[in-house]
Amino acid sequence: MKAIVCESYGPTSQLKIKVIEKPIPKEKEVMVKVHCSAVNDYDWSMVTGKPTLYRLLFGLFKPKNPIPGMELSGVVEACGVGVKNFTGGDEVYGDISRYGFGSFAEYICINEKALVKKPKNMSFENAAALSHAANLAWQGMVDLGEIKDGMNVLINGAGGGVGMIGFQIAKTYNCTVTGVDTGDKLLTMKERGFDQVIDYKEEDFTKRDEKYDLILDAKTTRAPKAYMKVLNTDGRYVTVGGVLGRLLQVFFAQKILKKPVYVLPLDANKDLDKIQELYESGKIKPVIDGPYPLEKTPWAIQHFGEGKHHGKVIVSIN
C-alpha cells in the first residue's frame, strides 16, 4: 500500500510517499480502507518536531510512528479476533488519536473503539472533516463553555475547522457570533454569516470595549489576564489549542487561581452522535479545503501550518 512517511523532523518537503506492507488487524482491531483523512496541528508538529517539547510524545530524535494522520473516514475491509461492533463493508469514521496514528495511508489497522459508523448521507469528505474539529467545538462550547441561548460569543481562529463548526453550533443557540482571523478567511466568514469579523492583524480583540459571554479560542497566544478583560461577569473562556506556554498559563489560572478560563481535555468521538444529528438536520456542514490527492499531502500540511487554509484541509486517499 501507499503511505506518507516522515523519517525525520524537518520541513514538509522531506515527506515521502512510500510503498509499504499492508497491515494485518490484531485482536479487537479493524482494517480500514481509508477514503479521506484531515490535516491537524498534530501533523504539523509531528513533521516539524516543533515545539521541541512535543518530541517527548512523538519521539526524541525522529517520529516513533512515521505515518502522520489522526482522523479518517473509510470502509472496514477486515476484522481481527474479538471485534464486536463492525463487519466488513461498514462505512466508518473517527478521531483515532487515543489508539494510534497513521491515517495518511491507503489502509490502517486500529482498535474498533477508535471508530463509529458513518451515516449513509454523510460524505467521506465531510466525515473526515467533522470527527475531530466538531468534537472540539461541541465540547468547548457546550460542555465547558456552558453556552446558552442568546449569548454574545467570540471565536478566535474562526476561519479554521473548529471555528467554522463552532460558529454553526453557536447559531443553533441563537447567539451573536464574532469571528477573529485574517486574510481571505474573513471573506469566507462573512459569507457564512458571522455577525462581525475582526482581522487580528489590524485589531486586538482583547483590547476592545465589547465583552463576551463565551470565548472559544483555537489560537491561544496571550496570557489569561488579557482574556479576562473582555469577559462578562459570568463569562467563560475555553481554549482548544494554541501556543504551548500560553496553554499552560491558562491551565494554571483555572486550577490554581480559580479563574473562569479552561483548557479543553478532549474526549475523542464522545459527541459524534450529537454532531450527526446536527449534520442530518442541516444545521452544521463543514467548510472543506480540498480534497487534495495523497501526493499533495506534504503541500497540504504546509498549507495548514502557514494558516492559509479555510476550514478543514482534507486529503482524499482512495
State how far the alpha carbon of 85 is from the alpha carbons of 7, 73, 104, in Å. Answer: 34, 16, 24
Secondary structure (DSSP) of 212-254: EEEEEESSB-S-HHHHHTTEEEEEEEEESSB-HHHHHHHHHHH
The confidence score (pLDDT) of residue 257 equals 87
Mean pLDDT of 11-21: 96
Residue whose entry in the numeric block shows the C-alpha cell 453557536:
170
Helix (H, G, I), strand (E, B) or coil at 79: strand
Q: Please indicate, yes or no, whether residues 12 and 76 belong to a single structural domain of this protein.
A: yes
Quick: pLDDT tens for 26-50: 999 999 999 999 999 999 999 999 9
Q: Is residue 270 part of a domain?
A: no
Q: Is residue 58 part of a domain?
A: yes
Q: What is the DSSP letter of 160?
A: B
Q: Is residue 170 part of a domain?
A: yes
Q: Please indicate, yes or no, whether residues 70 and 27 belong to a single structural domain of this protein.
A: yes
Q: Please indicate, yes or no, whether residues 141 and 190 belong to a single structural domain of this protein.
A: yes
Q: Please indicate, yes or no, whether residues 7 and 20 belong to a single structural domain of this protein.
A: yes
Q: Please indicate, yes or no, whether residues 106 and 221 belong to a single structural domain of this protein.
A: no
Under 8 Å between Cβ of 152 and 211: yes
* CATH classification at residue 93: 3.90.180.10
Q: How many domains does the chain have?
A: 2
Q: Is the pLDDT of residue 57 over 90?
A: no
Q: Please indicate, yes or no, whether residues 119 and 219 belong to a single structural domain of this protein.
A: no
Q: Is residue 195 part of a domain?
A: yes
* CATH classification at residue 229: 3.40.50.720
Domain of 82 in residue numbering reads as 2-132+287-316
Q: Please indicate, yes or no, whether residues 178 and 84 belong to a single structural domain of this protein.
A: no
Residues 6+ positions from 227 with CB-CB distance below 8 Å: 206, 215, 217, 237, 261
Q: What is the DSSP letter of 144?
A: I
Quick: pLDDT tens for 80-105: 999 999 999 999 999 999 999 999 99
The three grid cell numbers given for residue 28, joined into one nine-digit string:
479487537
The three grid cell numbers given for residue 252, joined into one nine-digit string:
494554571
Q: Please indicate, yes or no, whether residues 148 and 128 belong to a single structural domain of this protein.
A: no
- Please state the pTM of the whole predicted model: 0.93
Mean pLDDT of 58-67: 92
Q: Please indicate, yes or no, whether residues 55 and 113 belong to a single structural domain of this protein.
A: yes
Mean pLDDT of 271-290: 96
Q: Please indicate, yes or no, whether residues 139 and 231 belong to a single structural domain of this protein.
A: yes
The three grid cell numbers given for residue 213, joined into one nine-digit string:
459571554
Query: pLDDT above 70 covers what percent of the chain?
Result: 100
Query: How does 128-165 read in b/e, with b if 16+ C-beta sit within 10 Å?
Result: bbbbbbbbbbbbbbbbbbebeeebbbbbbbbbbbbbbb
